[in-house]
Amino acid sequence: MMSAGGSMGEHRHRRDRQARRAELVATAGEAGTASSHDLAPDEAPPPTTGWSGRRIAQAVLGIAVAAALLIWGLPFFAKTSWAQIWESMRIVPLSHLVGFQALMLLGLYCYTFALTGAMPGLSHWRALILNLCGSSVSNLLPGGGAVGLAATYAMCRSWGFTNRATSTMAIVTGVWNVLTRIALPIIAIVALWWGNDSLPTALRDAAVGGMVTGAIVIGVLVAVIASERQAQRVGRFFDRLLRPLFRRSRRTATMSVDQLVRELRARITDTVRTGWASMTFGMVGFFGMYYALFVLIMRDVGVGLPLGILFAAFAIGRLLTAVGITPGGLGVTEIATSAALVGWGAPPAAATAGVALFSVITHLMEVPLGGLGWLAWSTSTKATTTAAPR
């Protein structure tokens, strides 16, 4: 039997170890000097993205697929040719192109409200730099979001934000992005379905089904964020549903969706409570500016479809940008949007020209703008410590 003195000694030893560990974590958060084994889970090192041969091959293949889809697939599925597309694009005045680019930049500035709302202490200028740099990487590489996330960690650490603050910002803005991109097609479906008796019955049924499905997904996400009890119910439901799949792999045998949902909710709720208005304004402003840009470009190239149909095509494009086969869904997005516009009665050459021009302004132009963002970050004032700003 262990003596009382031995028990007290063991208790003191455990207390001393916990104190040393807390000191190591605090030191890591303030000076960034502790190793990865000394860090608490919330302060673990940011994700790294080594350039392996497999990753390089995926990047080359993704870019090749995007080029093939744009050069051959876009005119083929839109039933036009690049000569006709170019003729439709030539009628757009240069002054309008400058105005389109300015509207795109205004949309990117609106998005900074989402980032600053999710990370207190982040300025709008630095949020714009983060957005430009991350978007430029994502638009260059298939699945470039991982590389962009690693860059976001590096920049935020250089400005004095902890890994926990950065990861929380990434999680919260990701959830807000998902909610918005699901809501856009629902709004588009309502705009098409409401009072439009000319839609085929099959299309109307599919629209109603899509609207109900999207509403359920949004309802579940909102319930998880708003109620801890609902979060537990959702987590336990998916635990029971996915448990047979998890048991097949040694790496996922102990995985718990319930625990993951509760941990994510704990990270999200505090930020949402104070920053939901700013984040919502940022998302609405960003997508609103981009939709206005889409409409103006379509009007310039000669597409006179109603605003509801244009919004439906725009929503399809925004939803498909998440496709990871090509950088930023390039090629897939343009083909689907052009096919939808042509199917709804737009002239093939004009519709494809408008979609291509919109993609150049909102997708390809983010690459050189991202270069300017990297330059701005390299010349920005860096923090002397890595402690998070109060």
| pLDDT tens string 134-167 | 887 776 666 556 677 888 888 999 999 988 888 8
Ranges 131-140, 272-281, 316-325, 376-385: which has the least confidence: 316-325
Residue 222 lies in a domain: no
Boundaries of domain holding 312: 74-207+273-379
Of 321, 311, 303, residue with least CA distance to 190: 311
The rounded distance, in Å, linking the Cα atoms of 378 and 364 is 22
Answer for the pair 221, 240: CB distance below 8 angstroms, yes or no.
no
C-alpha dihedral sign at 340, 293, 207, 226: positive
Tokens of 233: 């119910």
pLDDT score at 122? 94
* CA diameter of the chain: 92
Q: What are phi and psi of 144, to 5 degrees?
A: -70, -5
User: Is residue 237 in some structural domain?
Assistant: no
Structure tokens at 157: 């650490």
Answer whether residue 386 is part of any domain.
no
Q: Report how far residue 172's alpha carbon sits from residue 28's, in angstroms, rounded to the nearest whole number.
A: 24
d(CA 332, CA 322): 10
Q: How many residues does the chain have?
A: 390
pLDDT tens string 308-340? 889 888 988 887 776 666 766 778 888 889 988
Q: Is residue 303 part of a domain?
A: yes
Report the number of distinct structural domains present in the chain.
Answer: 1
Q: How remote is the C-alpha of 12 from its chain's centroid?
A: 47
pLDDT in tens, 178-209: 888 878 877 877 777 665 555 555 555 655 66
Residue 227 belongs to a domain: no
Q: Is the pLDDT of residue 390 over 50?
A: no
**Is pLDDT above 70 for 7?**
no
More confident call, 385 vs 147: 147
**What distance in Å separates the CA atoms of residue 256 and residue 113, rounded to the nearest whole number?**
33
Rounded to an integer, what distance in angstroms lies between the CA atom of residue 185 and that of residue 215?
Answer: 10
In a domain, residue 55? The reply is no
Question: How close are the terminal C-alpha atoms of the chain, in Å?
Answer: 50
Contact criterion met (CB below 8 Å) for 183 and 193 = no
* Residue among 179, 202, 207 at smallest CA distance from 309: 207
Among residues 140, 137, 134, 211, which one has the least CA distance to residue 174?
134
The verdict on residue 28 lying in a domain is no
Quick: pLDDT tens for 108-141: 999 999 999 999 999 999 999 999 988 877 766 6
- Give the residue from 370, 320, 312, 317 showing the smallest Cα distance to 344: 312
Residues 381 and 82: their CA atoms lie apart, in Å, by 47
Binned at pLDDT 50, 70 and 90, residue 25 comes out as very low
Q: What is the pTM of this model?
A: 0.75
Instruction: Copy the structure tokens of residue 326.
Output: 């090509």
CB count within 10 Å of CB 64 equals 11
**Can you list the alpha helix ranges (DSSP code H) found in the chain?**
4-31, 53-68, 74-78, 82-89, 94-118, 124-140, 145-158, 163-193, 201-226, 228-246, 257-301, 307-320, 332-343, 348-359, 366-379
Question: What SS3 class is residue 385?
Answer: coil
Identify the pLDDT of residue 40. 38
The answer to the question of residue 335 being in a domain is yes
